[in-house]
Structure 1
Amino acid sequence: MKAIVLGSDDRFALATAEAPTPGPGEVLIRVRYAGLQWGDVLAVNGHFPLPRPFVPGFEAAGDIVAVGEGVDAARIGRPVTALTASGAFAEFVTAPAVLAFPAEDLDPRLAAAFGWATPTAYDLVNTVTRVRPGDRVLIHAALGGVGSLTAQFAKAAGAARIVGVGGGGTEQAGYAAGLGYDRLISRTDFPDALADERFDVILDPVGGPARLANLDRLAPHGRLAVYGNMATFEPVQINANDLLMTGASVLAYNSNLLSRTHPERLAAGAAEALRLITDRQVRIDISAEYELAEVPTAIQRLAAGGTRGKTVIRIG
């Protein structure tokens, strides 16, 4: 099969590799499209313990062509959108059967764009922070894969005001309004542009100084959800006594860990998110599409920032 391989020299190569075999509880998927996400940037930068050389890619859409032990053979031939441990930038990939979701009613491009971002966004709003009617919500990386979805899920949950951080300009503001944002401010204007405004829920994949600024913007009993470190991996010190005085909470969410410890929980949120996407109550914007050989360029552009919505890779 054809695949993009990241070698020990940190270089990508379009290579021919042996197709994988599904193990117990797994399915083998003939990939039509793959999704690109921030985890691909982290993998390239060595933040995931994946021995090199390896085939990157964590989101696949295609058809099941074989199943491993314990998986219903009736699933063969069915289209799915799947969350993988790696390997999606190839013509074939294996995935846990529990994380390969039926996608008969989705275009394969949209199925690939569903990826990790959609269940992550759904869980952040509905399971982690439990956004309630009337809540004021602040979302960082507002126009990215997760951010563009969390705004929509928060709106559906009854949020009274949704402010996004990331991007700027009239065009970006108009795009953000279409996602449910009441206001969009640029990263360089955060937090000064907020003045004294406080929020019941803040979603933070950024880290560093922004995380400390977020704590200062929490309303009494506010919830800060931490789910990434896009800016820096330097630790931030948080005083539990300060949280106690305001009733605030800091909540961490790690979808990759959840997929390994309680995959059924991740699958439950994904199923509900998939229903909302299929029913067109929530939309996924695909902003760019690349060929398999263009994966290095796609990852480089994602890492540089400024992208919005989802990027997909056409495999076959």
Structure 2
Amino acid sequence: MHAAVVTRFGDPEVFELTELPDPVPGPGQVAIDVSHAAVGLIDVYLRQGLYQDHPGLPLPPYVPGLEVAGTIRALGAGVPDFRVGEPVVTLSGTGAEGGYASIAVVDAAMTASLEGTGVDPALAVAAVPNAATAFLALTEVAHLRSGERVLVHGALGGLASAFPGVARTLGAAGVVGTVRRTSLADARASTLPYDEIIAADDLIGSLGDRRFDVVVDPVGGQLRTDSLQVMAPMGRMLLVGNASGDWDHTVPSNTLWGGNLAMLGFAAGYYLPTHPERARPAAEAALGAAAQGLIDIPVHSLPLAEAAEAHRRVENGAVNGRILLEP
């Protein structure tokens, strides 16, 4: 197979297109002929070496990529739920590597069939893993209830863009998104099911006295602290990323205490391996939202050989929607 390999930690130029032996699925695994591999911010952080001291995460040389779509190539022992040739998409609990290749081997438990869903494989890998993450975060962690209001930061980002559609399916009474002021024109042309999209740097002024039961924050930094002012009593903030890159930011814990507020972290890549039984229901909920057109985000594709360019665009915040690689 051919694969885009990270040869060392560093800038995007560390990628090398390489021929590797075809992988074979083990027990409980499937091999997939990859048609599309999603590129995410976590892939960028891993390539930069930000997590190189975390046990269990890949060290160079390795093939990045958490999520792929394609067709089943081979079944490992003990996998009764799929057949060769079946179209599938994988979720984010498959590990942190292996997707940027023409063949990927993943756990069958983290794989969902696209057969009969009517969901295009490119949209599936661009939106369904993130929508499954949104479903798990909103139901298992934030415990969103029907009639509650949701605020989503970084509204057009790959992960954030899945939250409004999933929140709608769970009965949210309203969903507001925030973006950088320079992104407002693109945001307001979006077909995502937000009631309104506002500039994050005018958060308090734009929202006035409106308050939210759940805040979804993949951005971090000062915006995280500012958001405490627009949360309703017993409000929950989901910490699902740190796109600001501000790793030293702290929040005033007494504000949480005095306001009856909660901050809750969620990372699907750590949750799903220990709760594999939750993967299939989350995938089915995500596919349902996709079939309804609630997570229809822009998709941009590049050849696998341009993995470095894909990373440059993600790193620079130059992607509206999701960027994919095609082997």
Q: 2:188 corresponds to which residue?
A: 174
User: Quick one: structure 1 residues 151 and 9, their matched pair in 2 at CA, closer, same or farther if it must change by over 3 Å?
Assistant: closer
Structure 2 match to 1:208: 221
Task: From 83, 87, 96, give the equivalent of 2:98.
Answer: 87
**d(CA) in 2 for partners of 1:115, 1:18:** 29
| 2:313 pairs with 1:293 | no
Give TM-score, length-normalised by structure 2: 0.87
The one of 45, 48, 54 aligned to 1:45? 48
- Contiguous gaps of at least 5 residues in structure 1: none
Please give the alpha-carbon distance, in whole angstroms, between the structure 1 residues aligned to 2:231 and 2:222: 15
Question: Which amino acid in structure 1 is aligned with residue 112 of structure 2?
Answer: F
- Relative to structure 1, the CA distance from residue 170 to residue 203 in structure 2 (aligned partners, 3 Å threshold; closer, same or farther) is closer
Q: How far did residue 189 of structure 1 move?
A: 2.9
Q: Report the equivalent of 1:123.
A: 136
Change (3 A) 1:175 1:121: farther
Structure 2 CA distance for aligned equivalents of residues 161 and 6 of structure 1: 42
1:68 paired to 2:82: no
Once the two structures are TM-superposed, the CA of residue 288 in structure 1 deviates from its matched residue by 1.0
1:246-287 deviations in Å (ceiling 9; x for gaps): 32222211100012211222332122212332x325233233
CA distance in 2, matches of 1:202, 1:77: 40
Bigger drift between 25-34 and 149-158 goes to: 149-158
Percent of aligned positions that are identical: 34
Residues 113 and 284, structure 1, Cα contact 8 Å, conserved in 2: no
What is the CA distance between 1:226 and its match in structure 2? 0.9
What secondary structure is seen at the aligned counterpart in 1 of 2:310? helix
Corresponding residue number in structure 2 for 1:58:
66
Distance 1:145 1:156 in 2: 19
CA contact (8 A) 2:9 2:47 kept: no
Residue 134 (1) aligns with residue 147 (2): yes
- What are the residue-to-residue correspondences of 1:4-43 with 2, within 5 Å? 4-8=4-8, 10=10, 11-43=14-46
Q: Secondary structure at the match of 1:271?
A: helix
What is the distance in 2 between the residues matched to 1:115 and 1:157?
Answer: 16
Shift of 1:297: 0.8
2:288 is the counterpart of 1:275: yes
Higher relative contact order, chain-length normalized (CA < 8 Å, sep 6+): 2
Distance in 2, matches of 1:74 and 1:250, equals 39
* Residues 30-57 of structure 1: CA deviation (Å, up to 9, x unaligned): 1111112222122212234211010111
Residues 291-312 of structure 1 deviation map (CA, whole Å, 9 limit, x = unaligned): 1111111121112114222222
Partner SS for 1:214: helix
SS in 1 for 2:33: strand
Partner residue in 1 for 2:109: 98
Residue of structure 2 in register with 1:189 after alignment? 202
User: Displacement, 1:140?
Assistant: 0.6
Q: Which amino acid aligns with 2:62?
A: F
Deviation at 1:223, TM superposition (A): 1.0
1:217-237 residue CA offsets vs partner (Å, 9 max, x unmatched): 211111111111221222524
Give secondary structure in 1 for the equivalent of 2:21: coil
Q: 1:202: how far off?
A: 0.5
Secondary structure of the corresponding residue to residue 75 of structure 1? coil
AA in 2 matched with 1:307: V
Q: Distance in 1 between matches of 2:264 and 2:9?
A: 37
Quote how far apart the aligned CAs of 1:207 are: 1.8
Distance 1:21-1:47 versus aligned 2 partners, 3 A rule: farther
Task: Give the match's secondary structure for 2:189.
Answer: helix
Q: Which residue of 2 aligns with 1:304?
A: 316
Cross-structure match for 1:2 = 2
**TM score, norm. by length of structure 1:** 0.90
Confirm or deny: 8 A CA contact 2:123 2:299 kept in the other structure.
no
| C-alpha contact (below 8 Å) 1:288/1:311 kept by paired residues | yes
Q: 1:115 to 1:15 in 2, by over 3 A?
A: farther
| 8 Å Cα contact 1:81/1:114 also seen in 2 | no
Q: Tell me how many residue pairs correspond in the alignment.
A: 312
Asked whether the 8 Å contact 2:128–2:286 carries over to 1, the reply is: no
- Decide whether the 8 Å contact of 2:89 with 2:111 is kept in 1: yes
Residue 74 of structure 1: how far off its partner (Å): 5.4
